[in-house]
Amino acid sequence: MSAGAENKYRIQSYEEFWPIYLREHLNPISRALHYIGSSWAILCLVLLFASGNLLWLLAALVGAYGLAWIGHFGFEKNRPATFQYPLWSFVSDWRMFGRFLTGRLARDLDTVRDLPALKDL
């Protein structure tokens, strides 16, 4: 498949998506950028509710997605799943963050290292 081409295979369920999503997040720097972005988004949402200033919503989106995309393009060398699977990707960002915070992510990552990358499906 040529660089930048979208894969033709369409993932059919979230259960199928989750391990592939994890496979796209094996780089620890990329994951750290995701966690910082998610934390930033939470802070911005708190500030949004405290101040009523809608610019905090924009800051949450730009900061969170910006850091995640730096992780993908700069460290993972892949295209964010957000472009093909926006809802599942959003849910998985928070699921990955939660599993990291509870110490369960390392085991999950070990089970997906040999899966094909999303671009290779």
> What is the CB neighbour count within 10 angstroms for residue 91?
15
Residue-range domain boundaries for the chain = 22-115
Give the mean pLDDT of 28-52.
98
Cβ-proximal residues to 96 (8 Å cutoff; 6+ apart), any chain? 21, 22, 25, 31, 34, 105
Tokens of 40: 């930033």
Burial class (CB within 10 angstroms; exposed 0-12, middle 13-18, buried 19+) of 81 = buried
- Give the CA distances from residue 103 to residues 87, 90, 114, in Å, rounded to whole numbers and listed in that order: 24, 20, 21
Whole-number pLDDT of residue 57: 98
| Residue 1 binned pLDDT confidence (cut-offs 50, 70, 90) | very low
pLDDT band at 3 (very low <50, low <70, confident <90, very high): very low
pTM: 0.86
pLDDT in tens, 47-57: 999 999 999 99
Q: According to the model, what pLDDT value does residue 6 have?
A: 55
